[in-house]
Amino acid sequence: EMTLKGVKYCMEISNAAKAVFAIKAKNKKAVETLRKAVHDEDNIFIHLLPDIYPMGEERAVVREVLGKLLDPTQLPSAADSIVVNVETALRVAEAIDLKKPCFSKNLTVIGKLHGGNAPHVYMDVPVGTSVEELIERSGGIDGVYGEVIMGGPFTGHSTALDAPITKTTGGIIVTMEFPDLHGAPVGLLICACAGNEARMREVCTKMNGNVVSVGTCKNAFEMKNGTLKCQDPGNCPGQAQKCLQFKKDGAEYIIIGNCSDCSNTVMGSAPKMKLKVFHLTDHVMRTIGHPLYRRLTVSKQEAQLPNGK
């Protein structure tokens, strides 16, 4: 109720004629809850997204909902739209109705924890709470672990136990141990959809690999500040050329951080060149029992999802 209020406030503030909840179809319970909430609304709709990373990226949302592909340098306003996170909408309503400043965060703790790898969801955690306190509240770390990540599997970063959560913290992940590559030569494929080169090198070091080649996804566009943005999030132009580069440079393994579609194209060429593939998120996905990012499997039904209420 408060989130829907927040959406209406955002519409009023921005003079928006309509609002759209963009949500992955796989989140059936959340979709059903939203359908009930907007049932009587004539200018608030639901758009179902396929289960492909990175469908939550703001330009991907604009493309999927409005059919407009923005350049990497453009903001959603170039498509006469504003993209707002649902928690932000909730906080807007709290600020207006409850006069409550934003000093707390909703987040999830998951991973190699006592009691299993089921997610622990916490609401209104005060900003500044330590990572360790939240992990202990979730059962504590179960034995030897690989690393603790603040954020998500793709774009999160390793963190210390005494680090505080911030207004942008969405999750804390405790991972299993890393595999040991015993000094084997490794190529890194840097993607705009995941960790930067420093993060990729960090993971390679933790796997005891030796970086011999670095390539950048051909869809990655370098911004003026040095960061990368994908030119068309979730749609890959192919990665065979990069895999050839890694093979030529003597790599035996490659570590990728690509989106679902790019990972799919990597797997179409790398194994043929006898390159062994690790994804930046592998140690996370194995920890929580999630399928690894390798071959893209999206049903025709998901690819042609119906829209509307």
* Residues 62-109: tens digit of each pLDDT: 999 999 999 999 999 999 999 999 999 999 999 999 999 999 999 999
The residue out of 148, 174, 200 marking a domain boundary is 174
Beta-ladder partners of 17: none
Residues 199 and 255 in one domain: yes
Per-residue pLDDT at 27 exceeds 60: yes
Residues 223 and 242 in one domain: yes
Residues 22 and 94 in one domain: yes
Residues 147 and 203 in one domain: no
- Whole-angstrom Cα Rg for the chain: 21
- The domain in which residue 150 lies consists of 104-174
Residue 297 located in a structural domain: no
Residue 293 located in a structural domain: no
CATH code, domain with 222: 3.40.50.2300
Predicted TM-score (pTM) of this structure: 0.91
Residue 300 located in a structural domain: no
Residues 190 and 277 in one domain: yes
Residues 160 and 189 in one domain: no
pLDDT of residue 254: 98
Per-residue pLDDT at 40 exceeds 70: yes
Name the DSSP class of 268.
T
Of 304, 306, 246, 307, nearest to 278 by C-alpha is: 246
The residue out of 49, 74, 98 marking a domain boundary is 98
The torsion region of residue 36 among left (phi > 0), alpha (psi -120 to 50) and beta comes to: alpha
Contact present, 237 and 261 (Cβ < 8 Å)? no
CATH code, domain with 165: 3.10.20.600
* Residue count of the chain: 309
Residue 148 located in a structural domain: yes
Per-residue pLDDT at 53 exceeds 50: yes
Angle at 19 between CA 16 and CA 23, to 5 degrees: 150
In the block, residue with structure tokens 């035996």: 252
Say how far apart CA 168 and CA 151 lie, in whole Å. Answer: 8
Could you tell me the pLDDT band of residue 298, with boundaries at 50, 70 and 90?
A: low
Residue 73 located in a structural domain: yes
> How high does pLDDT run on average in the chain?
93
Residues 20 and 92 in one domain: yes
Residue 299 located in a structural domain: no
Per-residue pLDDT at 195 exceeds 70: yes
Could you tell me the pLDDT band of residue 2, with boundaries at 50, 70 and 90?
A: very high
Give CA separation, 29 vs 35, 41, 61, 285, in Å: 10, 20, 21, 22
Residues 93 and 111 in one domain: no
pLDDT of residue 309: 45
Residues 160 and 192 in one domain: no
Buried b (16+ CB within 10 A) or exposed e, 135-153: beebeebeeebbbbbbbbb
In the block, residue with structure tokens 């109720």: 1
Residues 197 and 262 in one domain: yes
Q: Phi first, then psi: what are they for 253, rounded to 5°?
A: -125, 155
Query: What token pair was written down for 83?
Result: 């993209």
Residues 16 and 65 in one domain: yes
Of 7, 5, 9, nearest to 22 by C-alpha is: 7
Residues 94 and 132 in one domain: no
Contact present, 213 and 246 (Cβ < 8 Å)? yes
Name the DSSP class of 117.
S
Number of domains in the chain: 3
The residue out of 67, 98, 129 marking a domain boundary is 98
